[in-house]
Amino acid sequence: MSKSQIIYGIHAVLEGIRAGKEIERIVLKKEFTGPALGEILKYCREQHIPYQFVPAVRLDKITSKNHQGVIAFVSQISYQPIEQIVPQLYEQGEVPFLLVLDHITDVRNFGSIARTAECAGVHAIIVPEKGTALVNADAIKTSSGALHTINVCRVPQLVSTLKYLRDSGIMLFAATEKGTQLYTEIDYSKPSAIIIGSEGKGISPEILRICHSHIRIPVLGKISSLNASVATGIILYEKVRQQLTRDNSGTN
């Protein structure tokens, strides 16, 4: 972990937040007490910054410096509000094409997904505040810089955001091995959001319940599922294929 990617110490963390730095998350020592704790937690709630109380040894592993029981991880990108992006896309005459990641925690997987999404013309990647990969140097490198180009939206509740997208006329397609439709059977010419789940748990049941369709990629081998990054690429490029086919045939 590069020292430029973290802020440690009570005063430094508070100043970083007040200065408007994009904070990925904050870790606090379990025994952390005092007035500063209340102030830090207040900012976390107001600015939707994920935080976690951990044993002191966890903080000591991150830095050997005097962290005073608090370390903030600084994002290398600026998050964008999805509530502004969607109306802007419609106003510009664009057909929204979004990617939602339900707790993808592997940094390199996330970077690889972002690279593919940018190449496929995705307008924004939506991730939850908690339980998602840090946007650190490894993620940026794996994305080949795509994370500096594509919109990334960090939201408090994925379910609420997906309901907002649905109410905004966007079709929700959940990629799951138990899907009832093949991914090639979907018409992606309409406003669409593709939801990809973690390789361990998949997409959460409450998200599956509000999606318009559950789609699957056929798997012929003995392993039942694909890597999340690979699955994302296959589905996104089906949308690209359909778009190119329409363009070449002269239809809208």
Domain-by-domain residue ranges, the chain? 3-74, 82-249
Mean pLDDT of the 199-210 span: 90
CATH for 82-249, options being 3.40.1280.10, 3.40.1160.10, 3.40.50.300, 3.60.21.10:
3.40.1280.10
Tokens of 72: 């903030």
Spatial distance between the Cα atoms of 194 and 157, rounded to a whole number of angstroms: 17
Tokens of 151: 């919109």
Q: What is the pLDDT of residue 123?
A: 98
Taking the CB of residue 91, how many other CB atoms lie within 10 A of it? 8
Q: Label residue 251 by pLDDT band (50, 70, 90).
A: low
Q: Label residue 41 by pLDDT band (50, 70, 90).
A: very high
- The residues, any chain, with a CB within 8 Å of residue 115's CB and separated by 6 or more, are 142, 143, 144, 146
Q: Considering only CA atoms, which of 230, 75, 228 is closest in space to residue 140?
A: 75
Spatial distance between the Cα atoms of 178 and 162, rounded to a whole number of angstroms: 20
Spatial distance between the Cα atoms of 230 and 101, rounded to a whole number of angstroms: 13
First-residue to last-residue Cα distance in the chain: 48
Residue 3 pLDDT greater than 50, yes or no: no
Name the phi and psi angles at 48, rounded to 5.
55, 50
Q: Considering only CA atoms, which of 127, 98, 91 is closest in space to residue 191?
A: 98
Q: What is the pLDDT of residue 252?
A: 56
Q: Label residue 232 by pLDDT band (50, 70, 90).
A: very high
Residue 50 pLDDT greater than 60, yes or no: yes
How far apart, in Å, are the Cα atoms of 22 and each of 47, 108, 134? 10, 20, 12
Q: How many CA atoms lie within 13 A of 183 on its CB side?
A: 25
Q: Which CATH class is domain 3-74?
A: alpha beta
Mean pLDDT of the 135-155 span: 91
Residue 152 pLDDT greater than 90, yes or no: yes
At 117-128, the pLDDT tens digits run 999 999 999 999
**β strands within the chain, DSSP E:** 6-8, 23-29, 51-54, 70-74, 97-102, 124-128, 151-155, 171-175, 181-182, 192-197, 213-216
Name the phi and psi angles at 199, rounded to 5.
-70, -25
Tokens of 187: 């018409």
Identify the weakest region by mean pLDDT among 33-42, 83-92, 146-155. 33-42
Spatial distance between the Cα atoms of 52 and 70, rounded to a whole number of angstroms: 10
Spatial distance between the Cα atoms of 73 and 54, rounded to a whole number of angstroms: 14
At 78-95, the pLDDT tens digits run 899 999 999 999 999 999
Gyration radius of the chain's alpha carbons: 20
At 52-79, the pLDDT tens digits run 999 999 999 999 999 999 999 988 888 9
